[in-house]
Structure 1
Amino acid sequence: MGPSQTIRPTFSRVLAALVALCCLLTLGIVAIDAGPVAALRVAGPCGGLALLTWTVLWRPLVEVSDGGVLLVNPWRTVHVPWPALDDVSARWALTVRTTDGRTFSAFAAPAPGAAGGDRVGLSGEAVGAVEARRDRLTAAGYLDEVRPEGAPVQVRTHVRTLVALAALVVLSALALAVPAP
């Protein structure tokens, strides 16, 4: 029916890039001023902050495709195929309800704040994209005679990211515990 539509907040990606740049600058300045050993001591906290920022601000997205709705959140990814999609809403964020009664929210598509006024916000944009794609697929007959049990919702935890963050926290703690030369 068409290409996938990706929805993600632009401001958070700019903020993530700025934080990563600050982490790199910090490492460079420490390496120049205090030497490579001091830079190694700062590498864990800088790496942890950069990874956390990437996880929370850069990675999240909503992708609407012919296969369903993909919610990439900081700690897990959820794929809801069209037959399993029951309803979508945008009160606090894009929220997807499945035919088995589960609900999933999209970190990348929050509703506008109180100061948002009439703005639709990313959640409204995402709801519109989901409903429009589902309507087109239904009108074309692609969703006729499909059963929800034949298209399970897939939930995948970002284990590698969690392990990497934990490792960087341990590395940071060790770097702070070892006395400086």
Structure 2
Amino acid sequence: MDSVEFRYRPRFGLVLTVVVAVLCVVGLVLTLTTDGFNTALRTLPWLLLISGAAWAVFWRPEVKVDDGGVRLVNVLRTVDLPWPSIVRVDTKWALALVTRYGKFTAWAAPTSSRVSGREISTRDLDAMPESTFEAGKSIRPGDSPHAPSGAVAMVIRRHWEALQRAGYLDQPQLEFARPPVRWHLRTFAVGGALVLWGLLAAVFG
């Protein structure tokens, strides 16, 4: 059985992050030239906070798939879900993995509102893994390979089904009672520090 190595991060997230950062720089320059250094200094932490929030929300989130399982990097935390824990892949509102630990949604792979079932071709249907289809061979618009949720779900389902056919998931055993979770403490710390800086600058600036 072939190994898998896949990483998804939406391109529009990078574009939005860059646009927000550029607007913040422009705002800082305009404030500096029109209102002076002190006002710009009081504005700086809030602009940095906005830029950082854009990075955390739009660019940092990703989905990584490898032989060990699926890693969901979301805004506030990263969750590692091993293959034996996965029960079902859902795409109703966004890519979501239903596991023996519970249900976990991928921030990086939403269901696109621009994609409809009519845009799914016969070639698309033929390429989809069997677990994509619901009763009556129907699929959701979120399963379309043209939607972020569907594109990532297809990669996960293919490897998941391959593991099932090979017998690796016949008697699934979980190494952990809970999935490994890593909270993004640095994001919390930097955000809190910027808020504190902004409040202090407003009071004593």
Output aligned runs, 1:1-181, within 5 Å.
Answer: 1-2=2-3, 4-100=5-101, 102-113=102-113, 115-118=114-117, 120=144, 121-139=147-165, 143=168, 147-150=172-175, 153-179=179-205
Unpaired stretches in structure 1, ≥5 consecutive residues: none
Q: CA–CA distance in 1 between the matches of 2:99 and 2:173? A: 9
Unpaired stretches in structure 2, ≥5 consecutive residues: 120-143
Q: CA–CA distance in 2 between the matches of 1:145 and 1:116? A: 35
The Cα offsets for residues 23-80 of structure 1, whole Å up to 9 and x where unpaired, read as 2233344345555433322210011001111000110111111111011100111110
Residue 45 of structure 1 contacts residue 169 of structure 1 at CA under 8 Å; is this kept in 2? yes
Q: CA deviation at 1:153?
A: 1.8
Deviates more, 1:63-72 or 1:6-15: 6-15
Name the aligned partner's letter for residue 92 of structure 2: R
> CA-atom RMSD, angstroms?
2.2
Name the aligned partner's letter for residue 150 of structure 1: E
Q: CA deviation at 1:81?
A: 0.9
Residue 84 of structure 2 contacts residue 169 of structure 2 at CA under 8 Å; is this kept in 1? no
Distance of aligned partners of 1:4 and 1:178 in 2 relative to their CA distance in 1, 3 Å threshold: same
Residue 72 of structure 1 contacts residue 78 of structure 1 at CA under 8 Å; is this kept in 2? yes
Distance of aligned partners of 1:82 and 1:35 in 2 relative to their CA distance in 1, 3 Å threshold: same
Query: How many pairs align?
Result: 176
Distance of aligned partners of 1:76 and 1:145 in 2 relative to their CA distance in 1, 3 Å threshold: same
SS of 2:81 mapped into structure 1? strand
Q: Tell me the percent identity.
A: 33
SS of 2:75 mapped into structure 1? coil
Residue 4 of structure 2 contacts residue 159 of structure 2 at CA under 8 Å; is this kept in 1? no
Q: CA–CA distance in 2 between the matches of 1:25 and 1:140? A: 56
TM-score between both structures, scaled by the size of structure 1: 0.85
SS of 2:112 mapped into structure 1? coil
Q: CA–CA distance in 2 between the matches of 1:146 and 1:42? A: 58
Deviates more, 1:55-64 or 1:143-152: 143-152
